Amino acid sequence: MFLTHFLVLHATQNLFAELTRFADRQFYEDWWNVTTWAAFYRKWNGLVHDFIHSYLYSDLVEFVGMSKSTAMMVSFVLSAVVHEYIVAASLGFFFPILFVLFGGPGIWFMQLTKGRKGRTWNIFMWVMLATGQGLMMVLYFREYYSRLLRGENEDLHSFANLLLVPRSYTLDELWPEVAGTGQHHFPSKVEWEDGTTKRELLPHPHVLASWISRIGGSDGGGRR
């Protein structure tokens, strides 16, 4: 999260501001001190917030006649859709974890933390941010590598199946010898159903976890 903030919201935006001689450099505010979810969304990315507020939220209220709460909800959902589109375009598949977190816990936390103050709620914000970021990284990477390992056995003629159907829930099918058995060996290659295509495989996630624990534990002779 800190790396994303530094690269995208600080370094990159300041670089373009220097190149274009843009005078206003307040791209974000002190989001690390917030105690409410609404304040975080407002302070995390000033450019996106100002754009949505000026060109979407205000127009929905002024010209469409929506109530402020409805306009805020519509703006929130559309922002989540755009964010998910960027992620899907970058990864090459649709796996709406970010959208679900935006539209689920994100909206609920806005109501839960409304008007809250104090260090306790700031700690709560940090815990939820760390949990959400970690959850997204794990699920997106799991889906990405599941598709990578299953790629040569995919039905390329079905666009919807290729793009929309998750692969991570069938990941263990790639390692029938070790899935759920606790064994530490795995095939270096796998032969698909047609009997012709073979593909190098990475270790099963359970095997990787076992190796990491061995390296850091007494089995590997390392320091705990």
Catalytic residue numbers read: 83
Is there a contact between 45 and 27 (Cβ–Cβ < 8 Å)?
A: yes
The continuous run of DSSP H or E covering 199 comes out as: strand 198-200
Distance CA 68, CA 90 (A): 33
Name residue 56's amino acid.
Answer: L
183 Cβ neighbours under 8 A, 6+ residues apart: 177
Across-strand partners of 198? 191
* Token digits of residue 93: 């598949």
Residue 187, helix vs strand vs coil: coil
**Residue whose structure tokens are 């589109």:** 85
The continuous run of DSSP H or E covering 200 comes out as: strand 198-200
- Running DSSP on this structure, what letter comes out for residue 178? T
How far is CA 42 from each of CA 4, 29, 32, 51, rounded to the nearest angstrom?
17, 8, 12, 11
Residue 204, classified by CB atoms within 10 Å of its CB into exposed (0-12), middle (13-18) or buried (19+), is: buried
Give the chain's length. 224
